[in-house]
Structure 1
Amino acid sequence: MNWNLSWTEALGFATGALCVWLVARQHIANWPVGIANNVFFIVLFVQAGLYADAGLQVVFIALAAYGWWIWANGSGPDAAGALPVRRTTGAEWAWLAAAGVLGTGALTLLLDRATDSTVPFWDALTTALSLAATYGQCRKLLESWWLWIAADLVYIPLYAYKGLYLTSLLYVGFLALCVTGLVGWRRTLATTSARAATAVTA
């Protein structure tokens, strides 16, 4: 069991790091790599008693399929139809915040009453943050990186507490990659905005 768990964690580490690296570069291959990562983490989290995180991976797979389709079909103004990086609107923030608060509360109660989870609130909080961040990633919302950063800052000590030290280390790497992704997407947005302004004044 320990040997299998170690390999599951190692494979989750490798595919997770590759996935975030690809997202930061806006490469569509992040989606199939991410699905593989989700499968490894389902096994890992069930064994560790992180049930909300395990269930979250199933939702991630569905969102990855959605994101893959959105990125492949695009909706941008250029000839390639690439999906553009953009800011999160006020309306999107409002419903994401409402869903996050309600989801965290409901999941905390569920985990506390229906499972043997020792960290129901933190498990629920990271689940809500991760879902909001993944939605933003699907739509190429710049602020999705801030949501990932917030989630990672909770995940790092949470996984260390549960004895998943390699996974905790992975999320330190995720945190660094998220900062890189934020900088890169911000640069892309600035470039796109400058081109749009030039086109309007031309």
Structure 2
Amino acid sequence: MSLADILDPLQQPLVTVLDTPVSWTEVLGFGSGALCVWLVARQHLANWPIGIANNLFFILLFTQSGLYADAGLQIVFITLAVYGWWTWTHGGGPGSSALPVRSTTRTEWAWLCAAGVAGTLALTVLLDRATDSTVPFWDALTTALSLAATYGQCRKLVESWWLWIAADVVYIPLYAYKELYLTSLLYVGFLTLCLVGLRNWKLDLTVRRRELAEVAR
């Protein structure tokens, strides 16, 4: 049995939304993606393996839809997920194995902004010249934002949620334009979960700062 024979059932229509067939791949991506973001908001370690499964589903979905940067992005996400999984369990420093939530430093912001601008420009040119993408800039922009947000998530930077929110605001109409309606709806849910995650991580950071202040007295 070939790989194509295994993957073909996942690409078959399951339901129809707005006269557009929705495949098993998109449905499974919807479910695993929503669960992953919910777990991240709760700082639950299981978000990493669930997220890897979500990335695999989206590699298939985005390749079929001509969103090549987003498909390639999933491979990077898998690599970052392994890194994030390790840092969440080993990155707490002396006396603590768990990684605490913290704010992004100015140096980190400078690097993230520089990398984001450079990545967006480079990917836009690459997608425009080397692929048949119909949305090279938007595909590149969301890729850069998502990578920066995922790095921040790996380090438990509270501002990473703002980067995810910015990416989702672009993703929602982008996927609707590509007729990935269920995925567009998923990102509406992601946006809501991002707001919840931002609130939860801010509360956690406030509590931690209060505890550190009390210890310092």
TM range (shorter): over 0.9
Aligned-pair Cα RMSD in Å: 1.1
Per the alignment, residue 186 of structure 1 pairs with 202
Per the alignment, residue 35 of structure 2 pairs with 18
Tell me if structure 2 keeps the 8 A contact 1:24–1:178. Answer: yes
Select the residue among 38, 57, 61 that pairs with 1:40. Answer: 57
After the TM superposition, which parts of structure 1 deviate over 4 Å for at least 4 consecutive aligned residues? none
TM-score, normalising length: structure 1: 0.96
- The C-alpha deviation readout for 1:83-134, integer Å capped at 9, x for no partner, is 1100000000001000000000000000000000000000000000000000
Per the alignment, residue 178 of structure 2 pairs with 162
- The C-alpha deviation readout for 1:63-85, integer Å capped at 9, x for no partner, is 000000111213156x5521110
Per the alignment, residue 133 of structure 1 pairs with 149
Question: Which letter does structure 2 place at the counterpart of 1:3?
Answer: P
Per the alignment, residue 98 of structure 1 pairs with 114
Tell me if structure 2 keeps the 8 A contact 1:76–1:84. Answer: no
Q: Within 2, Cα distance between the matches of 1:132 and 1:151? A: 10
Q: Does 1:146 align with 2:166?
A: no
Number of residue pairs the alignment of both structures matches = 200
Between 1:155-164 and 1:65-74, the stretch displaced more is: 65-74
Structure 1: state its 5+ residue gaps.
none
Instruction: Give the C-alpha shift of residue 170 in structure 1.
Output: 0.2
More strand by share: 2
Find the residue that maps to 2:92 and give its secondary structure: coil
Question: Which letter does structure 2 place at the counterpart of 1:36?
Answer: A
Identity %: 74
More helix by share: 1
Q: Within 2, Cα distance between the matches of 1:76 and 1:14? A: 34
TM-score, normalising length: structure 2: 0.90
Q: Within 2, Cα distance between the matches of 1:149 and 1:75? A: 26
Structure 2: state its 5+ residue gaps.
1-10, 15-21
Question: Which letter does structure 1 place at the counterpart of 2:113?
Answer: A
Q: Does 1:3 align with 2:19?
A: no
Per the alignment, residue 67 of structure 1 pairs with 84
Per the alignment, residue 81 of structure 1 pairs with 97
